[in-house]
């Protein structure tokens, strides 16, 4: 049963450019412009009209956009919840400008061991993450540590939790790895790894959406009975100011926005594509977290119930639940 009929999230790609070359991501290989303030301002107003509550300014590396603080300020003035995920290379430089503008600030960390993290990212950035934690805490910010969990690093959760998160009073977000397109990330997490993640998800200041675990046990999305609601819950906007459908990773079609996002999204052509969400051949077996999470939030089913405790836990810790009502 559908309980929320409007989109709730915007994944706003402000650039595809990145200053890292992560082995499990290919977005940094794409040429890309930067979004303009004029387009963002118009689109944010239409996102608000469409019912969107959260805008994720993403990339690429979002801190490469020199007007990021202005983009965030525009979103905050409209009452939108803001989120940023960064490799932290540029955070110390721009931290003061971003202060108070990001509701959910995530620092990506792939290993508690500097050499391993840097090798995964293709650039030396472990020390920048540590510096960024100190800078953020000094400004009264409370970033989260986003840990992408593979079969080969699930055993490092304890070290990351004990040595980095607990001493700094940070939330540890466990992000089960996923594969897409031609990027093979090694997402075949064993039942033992899933069980260990589930245990950690129940610990203090650790966030794991249990529906992610259930979905993997179920073999991901199935086109004959889809759980994915990516196109109806999440608007994807590209740096070229196009609406991408049904999601960024599948990217079957894009539409120039041209300052008409509200009408464009509600148009027959777009809604015909929205109706195919989770049913296209490329959707079979999909378990992409950033689209499944909003999918779990809008339909009353077993995934909704699985996601509820962790969702309430995280929003209580971060205080963002107050902005959802």
Please write the tens of the pLDDT for every residue from 12-55. 999 998 876 666 665 655 668 999 999 999 999 999 999 999 99
Angstrom distance (rounded) from CA 176 to CA 181? 17
- CA distances in angstroms from 15 to 107, 184, 189, 208, 237, listed in the order given: 18, 23, 31, 28, 10
Rounded to two decimals, what is the model's pTM?
Answer: 0.93
Q: What is the pLDDT of residue 318?
A: 85
Residue 321 has a pLDDT of 55
Paired strand residues for 82: 55
* First-to-final CA distance of the chain: 21
Task: Determine the pLDDT at residue 245.
Answer: 94
Query: d(Cα 147, Cα 175) in Å, to the nearest integer?
Result: 6
Token pair, residue 116, equals 């391993």
pLDDT of residue 121: 80
> Containing H/E element for 207?
strand 206-207
Residues of the chain under the 50 pLDDT cut: 181-186, 325
Q: What is the pLDDT of residues 260-281, one digit of tens each?
A: 999 999 999 999 999 999 999 9
CATH class of 9-324: alpha beta
Which pLDDT does position 27 carry in this prediction?
62
């Amino acid at each position: 049963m559908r309980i929320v009929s409007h989109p709730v999230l915007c994944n706003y790609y402000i650039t595809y450019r990145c200053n890292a070359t992560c082995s499990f991501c290919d977005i940094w290989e794409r040429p890309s412009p930067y979004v303009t303030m004029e387009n963002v301002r118009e689109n944010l107003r239409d996102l608000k009209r469409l019912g969107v509550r959260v805008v994720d300014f993403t990339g690429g590396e979002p801190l490469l956009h020199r007007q990021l603080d202005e983009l965030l300020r525009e979103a905050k003035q409209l009452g939108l919840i803001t989120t940023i995920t960064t490799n932290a290379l540029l955070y110390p430089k721009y931290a003061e400008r971003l202060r108070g503008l990001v509701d959910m600030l995530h620092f990506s960390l792939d290993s508690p061991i500097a050499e391993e993290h840097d090798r995964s990212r293709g650039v030396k950035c472990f020390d920048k993450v540590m510096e960024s934690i100190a800078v953020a805490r000094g400004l009264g910010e409370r970033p989260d540590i986003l840990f992408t969990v593979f079969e080969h690093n699930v055993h490092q959760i304890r070290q990351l939790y004990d040595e980095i998160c607990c001493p700094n009073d940070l939330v540890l977000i466990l992000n089960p790895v996923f594969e897409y397109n031609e990027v093979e990330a090694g997402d075949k997490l064993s039942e033992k790894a899933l069980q260990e993640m589930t245990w950690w998800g129940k610990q203090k200041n650790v966030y794991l959406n249990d529906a992610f675990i259930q979905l993997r046990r179920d073999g991901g999305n199935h086109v004959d009975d889809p759980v994915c609601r990516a196109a109806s819950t999440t608007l994807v906007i590209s740096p070229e100011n196009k609406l991408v459908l049904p999601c960024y990773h599948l990217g079957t079609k894009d539409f120039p926005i041209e300052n008409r996002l509200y009408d464009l999204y509600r148009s027959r052509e777009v809604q015909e594509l929205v109706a195919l969400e989770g049913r296209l051949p490329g959707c079979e077996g999909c378990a992409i977290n950033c689209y499944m999470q909003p999918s779990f939030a809008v339909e009353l089913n077993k995934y909704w119930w699985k996601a509820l405790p962790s969702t309430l836990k995280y929003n209580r810790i971060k205080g963002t639940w107050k902005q959802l009502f």
